[in-house]
Amino acid sequence: MTDTQGSAAGRRRHRVREEALADAMRISRRLLVDEGAAAVTVRAVAREMGLTAPGLYRYYAGHRELVQALVSHLYEELAATLASARDTQPAGRPGLRLREVARELRRWALAHPNEFALLFAKPVADADTAPGAAAHDPSWRFGSVVLDLMVDLWRHGGVRAPADLDPVWAAQLEEVREHLAGEPVPLEVIYVFVAGWARLYGAVAVEVFGHLDFALTDPEPLFEHTVADLLASLGAPAA
């Protein structure tokens, strides 16, 4: 075989592999949406692809790797979706940008409840984003869309941070600071960021999972109030 033939064969193998991986992600997501996270199994995905379960092992080592790939794919989609929403607002207005990102997170979650659950409720143990997991970096790319805007607001000097921080908190928040590429953000401020994210996530999750149905037929005003209060804690001027 000539070098040219070998190169062409290599390109074909790469193309076939990329097509198979894309097909596996498409099928995995459809199973997730139609039947829930428990339906995303190696056997089910392989069957839809016209393979045996061992045949799918050419692409994924097992269930964990398959789910990690799906989680990574969804985080990348969500990060891109939020970044696009962010960029509809002026670069010099981090408060407006964060407000639009928060709204887009809610819109995406309501439109994709099973995907949201896989990422943030983790109905299967293999949906892991801990350090060392394949989905760790994609999850931080998503998180950075929110966190970077919070840092921008801190630079404007309006964050209401606690005067003292329990040392137990400080040890846990160091990893977050590591993701700020050397930005000298005090841990007290990072605590405000994490607490703010917890409120934003909670406001979205409680609606997506139907836990406000007992009281509200339209949770959007409550969500908007929560976002406004969060932005105030970060020093953003009122809209």
Closest CA to 118 of 148, 102, 100, 138: 138
Q: Which residues does 213 contact at the CB level (< 8 Å), separation at least 6?
A: none
CATH number, domain of 208, equals: 1.10.357.10
Based on the domain organization, do 45 and 122 belong to the same domain? Answer: no
Determine contact, residues 33/115, Cβ cutoff 8 Å: yes
| SS3 labels along the chain | CCHHHHHHHHHHHHHHHHHHHHHHHHHHHHHHHHHCHHHCCHHHHHHHHCCCHHHHCCCCCCHHHHHHHHHHHHHHHHHHHHHHHHCCCCCCCHHHHHHHHHHHHHHHHHHCHHHHHHHHCCCCCCCCCCCCCCCHHHHHHHHHHHHHHHHHHHHCCCCCCCCCCCHHHHHHHHHHHHCCCCCCCCHHHHHHHHHHHHHHHHHHHHHHCCCCCCCCCCCHHHHHHHHHHHHHHCCCCCC
Structure token digits, residue 194? 């994490």
Determine contact, residues 70/40, Cβ cutoff 8 Å: yes
Specify the amino acid at residue 32. Answer: L
User: Is 239 domain-assigned?
Assistant: no
Specify the amino acid at residue 27. Answer: I
Determine contact, residues 149/86, Cβ cutoff 8 Å: yes
Based on the domain organization, do 147 and 82 belong to the same domain? Answer: yes
In this prediction, residue 235 carries a pLDDT of 87
Phi-psi region of 158 (alpha: psi -120 to 50; beta: other; left: phi over 0): alpha
Based on the domain organization, do 86 and 195 belong to the same domain? Answer: yes
Based on the domain organization, do 183 and 221 belong to the same domain? Answer: yes
Q: How many domains does the chain have?
A: 2
Tokens 């070998």 found at: 6
Based on the domain organization, do 79 and 8 belong to the same domain? Answer: no
In this prediction, residue 167 carries a pLDDT of 83
Q: Which domain range does residue 139 map to?
A: 71-233
User: Is 142 domain-assigned?
Assistant: yes
Based on the domain organization, do 121 and 32 belong to the same domain? Answer: no
Q: State whether the Cα torsion 142-83-180-164 is positive or negative.
A: negative
Specify the amino acid at residue 124. Answer: V
In this prediction, residue 231 carries a pLDDT of 93
Based on the domain organization, do 26 and 144 belong to the same domain? Answer: no
Based on the domain organization, do 41 and 128 belong to the same domain? Answer: no
CA atoms within 13 A on the CB side of 32: 25
pLDDT in tens, the chain (239 residues): 565 555 766 677 778 889 999 999 999 999 999 999 999 999 999 999 999 999 999 999 999 999 999 999 999 999 999 999 999 999 989 999 999 999 999 999 999 999 999 999 999 999 999 888 999 999 999 999 999 999 899 888 778 888 888 888 888 888 788 777 666 888 888 899 999 999 999 999 999 999 999 999 999 999 999 999 999 989 886 65
Structure token digits, residue 191? 């605590």
Based on the domain organization, do 123 and 185 belong to the same domain? Answer: yes
User: Is 147 domain-assigned?
Assistant: yes
Based on the domain organization, do 214 and 149 belong to the same domain? Answer: yes
